């Protein structure tokens, strides 16, 4: 996700990690994981630079809950986010990942549970999924810094998250294909399960899902990852370039966003119109 610019950060007590093309800071004791995240970030930047225009990579913070407040621009621990002056990710998996798993587990069939366990272990720890999200955050840089971005328009939020998920999907498939199962299992199994227990479900209301512990927001992100997977398969890097380009321009209305998606893949345009009913078994909104 992206966070409103403006707040300062404080690096006191954090440890710098050398050897990366951007500054990296970690909580004490977190060097090994921080280094792994930073290495993925460096690979992602190298890949993204061939696809879209990017500003300079800001400092990367990989911090635990004890240091979250001093560097984060978003209050919920472990919710990865980016601004032009920082990327912040959790050093240990956030509680909302467990909430997501606990919410869907009673409603999924045994095949879905088997998939989750195969990808994330018998205890179903989404930490290895969360570790991939630095690539999503870096992709946000491809559309940040414009005058229109960050307005309160409902469309800019979900379109920017779709763009970031395209970068995440494209990066994993082209650079770390052995991570594809970890990337896709969480969102495919979650999105195939019933949605009645998520309080916010309509796409224009996505911003409201940020209230609470973050798990409802994750549900939206997972749905947009389903669409990003499809869009990458049908339109590839063209989809990322065109959506990032549109987000850098004047604020988009829903009709413009729908037309852009329709040009890329009519199935995805229909999916945003019928959200979240584009999955078999869901009913169209309002029916």
Q: Which stretch binds Zn ion (CB under 5 A): 116-124, 153-161, 172-180, 263-271?
A: 153-161
Output the smallest distance, CB 187 to Zn ion, in A.
14
Output the smallest distance, CB 160 to Zn ion, in A.
7
Whether the link from the prior residue into 276 is cis, omega within 30° of 0, is: yes
164 binds Zn ion (CB under 5 A): yes
DSSP 8-state secondary structure symbol assigned to residue 76: S
Q: Which stretch binds Zn ion (CB under 5 A): 59-67, 159-167, 245-253, 256-264?
A: 159-167
Nearest to 174 by CA among 53, 268, 51: 51
Output the smallest distance, CB 221 to Zn ion, in A.
7
Nearer to Zn ion, 38 or 168 (CB): 168
Nearest residue (beta carbon) to Zn ion: 1
- Cα separation, 236 vs 264, in Å, equals 9
Nearer to Zn ion, 40 or 115 (CB): 40
Output the smallest distance, CB 163 to Zn ion, in A.
9
Output the smallest distance, CB 139 to Zn ion, in A.
8
Q: Which of residues 1-30 bind Zn ion (CB under 5 A)?
A: 1
Q: Which stretch binds Zn ion (CB under 5 A): 22-30, 62-70, 163-171, 229-237?
A: 163-171
CB contact at 8 A, 191 and 279: yes
247 binds Zn ion (CB under 5 A): no
- How many residues belong to the site for Zn ion (CB under 5 A)? 3
Nearer to Zn ion, 48 or 164 (CB): 164
Output the smallest distance, CB 243 to Zn ion, in A.
13
Q: Which stretch binds Zn ion (CB under 5 A): 8-16, 154-162, 198-206, 257-265?
A: 154-162
- Interacting residue ranges for Zn ion, rule: CB under 5 A: 1, 161, 164
């Amino acid at each position: 996700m992206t966070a409103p610019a403006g707040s300062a950060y404080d690096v006191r007590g954090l440890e710098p990690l050398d050897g990366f093309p951007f500054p990296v800071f970690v909580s004490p004791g977190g060097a090994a994981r921080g280094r792994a995240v930073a290495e993925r970030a460096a690979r992602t930047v190298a890949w993204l630079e061939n696809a879209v225009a990017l500003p300079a990579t800001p400092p990367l913070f990989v911090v635990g809950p004890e240091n979250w407040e001093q560097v984060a621009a978003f209050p919920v621990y472990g919710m990865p986010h980016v601004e032009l002056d920082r990327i912040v990710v959790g050093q240990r998996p956030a509680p909302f990942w467990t909430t997501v798993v606990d919410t869907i587990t009673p409603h999924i069939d045994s095949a879905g549970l088997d998939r989750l366990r195969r990808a994330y272990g018998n205890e179903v720890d989404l930490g290895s999924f969360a570790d991939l999200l630095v690539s999503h955050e870096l992709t946000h840089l491809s559309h940040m810094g414009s005058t229109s971005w960050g307005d309160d328009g409902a469309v800019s939020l979900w379109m920017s998250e779709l763009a970031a998920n395209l970068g995440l999907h494209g990066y994993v498939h082209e650079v770390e294909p052995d991570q594809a199962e970890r990337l896709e299992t969480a969102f495919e199994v979650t999105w195939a399960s019933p949605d009645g227990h998520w309080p916010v479900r309509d796409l224009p209301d996505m911003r409201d899902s940020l209230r609470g512990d973050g798990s409802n927001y994750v549900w939206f992100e997972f749905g947009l990852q389903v669409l990003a997977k499809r869009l990458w398969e049908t339109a590839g890097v063209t989809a990322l370039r065109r959506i990032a380009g549109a987000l850098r321009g004047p604020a988009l209305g829903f009709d413009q966003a729908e037309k852009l998606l329709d040009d890329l893949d009519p199935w995805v345009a229909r999916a945003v119109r019928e959200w979240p009913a584009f999955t078999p078994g869901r009913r169209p909104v309002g029916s």
